[in-house]
Amino acid sequence: MTNSLDAYLILSALLFCIGTFGFLARRNAISMLMSIELMLNGVNLAIVAFGAFNPHLREQGSIIALIVIAVAAGEATVGLAIVMAIFRNRRTPLVDEYDSMRQ
């Protein structure tokens, strides 16, 4: 199993879908951000898996994964800063109360 690409890819897909569910279903904004991190990680796993099983992408897979990690870090920073700014205004971290654009 460790030698089958499909297994890693299915694993990555599962992680991604768990992250999707969390993003769509949780009420707290921070939970949503955590789910996004899960999704990013799932994708990262897929990239590394491809890198590991394709001789032409031996190093490139890792490099791309590295870059993804860096960007994810930056994104998490900014996202959390935004959440904190909103929290300061609304006094609630629950996203279903951020509906002032409602028709």
CB atoms within 10 A of CB 7: 12
Sequence-separated (6 or more) residues with CB below 8 Å from residue 75: 36
Residue 13 makes CB contacts below 8 A (sequence gap 6+) with 42, 46
List the interface residues with other proteins, window 78-97 (CB under 8 A): 78, 80-85, 87-88, 91-96
Token pair of 39, please?
């999704």
Residues 25-54 vs other proteins: string with x where CB under 8 A? Answer: xxxxxxxxxxx-xx--x--xx--xxxxxxx
Residues 54-73 binding other proteins (CB under 8 A) are: 54-55, 58-63, 65-67, 69-73
Q: Quote the least distance from Cβ 19 to other proteins, whole Å.
A: 7
Taking alpha carbons only, the member of 70, 15, 21 closest to residue 39 is: 15
Site membership for other proteins, residue 16 (CB under 8 A): yes
Q: What's the closest the beta carbon of residue 93 comes to other proteins, in angstroms?
A: 4
Residue 47 CB, nearest approach to other proteins (Å): 9
